[in-house]
Copies of this chain bind each other. A is one copy, B any other.
Amino acid sequence: MDMNFDLAQSLEVLARTPSTFRALLSGLSDEWIAADEGPNTFTPFDNLGHLIHGERADWMTRARLIVAQGDVRRFEQYDRTAQDRESRGKTLAMLLDEFETLRAENLEELRALNLCARELSLEGEHPAFGTVTLRQLLATWVVHDLGHIAQTSRVMAKQYREAVGPWRKYLPVLDR
């Protein structure tokens, strides 16, 4: 079932995520944007802020560290709550623009690296589970994007968990 990692195909997905979030969320009522799945869960707004923090602090920062193969190959711990600070006072429209700009810059840098198979096999060190390759990092970037699209849709769907009445048992997204 699985596809092999392919850089060009990964870039296809990574390049589309900002427009997907824009299509899904832009102009929606605040109630959708601020909806959550209970205490300490991400709203659609949080999902977007979290992706923005990844653009600043995670994916390309780690990719650079691996490609450089310097003395330090251990990644910094990723901050899963950074968006609580960084999104404060911003509108959804601002976040959508910010994500689009940062992602475009990061993909420009990634493309310019012209990574070959040998470089994709270079290793870094994850603070929790040790040795990982650049290929695994980039595959994770793709899956992480898709996971947050799925999560954002699911959070929204759950707002109508009671409203759908008896249809609930046909809608597995409501109980994930």
Contact = CB atoms under 8 A, between A and B. Distances in A.
Nearest to A172: B147
A24 B28 contact: no
SS of A interface (majority): helix
**Tier of interface size on chain A:** 35 or more
A13 B36 CA distance: 16
Interface string A12-32: 110010011011100111011
Given A12-B29, A132-B165, A173-B150, A38 B140 contact: no
A90 interface: no
Most interface-central of A19, A135, A163 (chain B CB within 10 A): A163
A20 to B, nearest CB: 4
A27 to B, nearest CB: 7
Contacts of A156: 13, 146
Contacts of A3: 31-32, 35, 159-160, 163
Contacts of A157: 142-143, 146-147, 150
A170 B132 CA distance: 14
Contacts of A19: 23
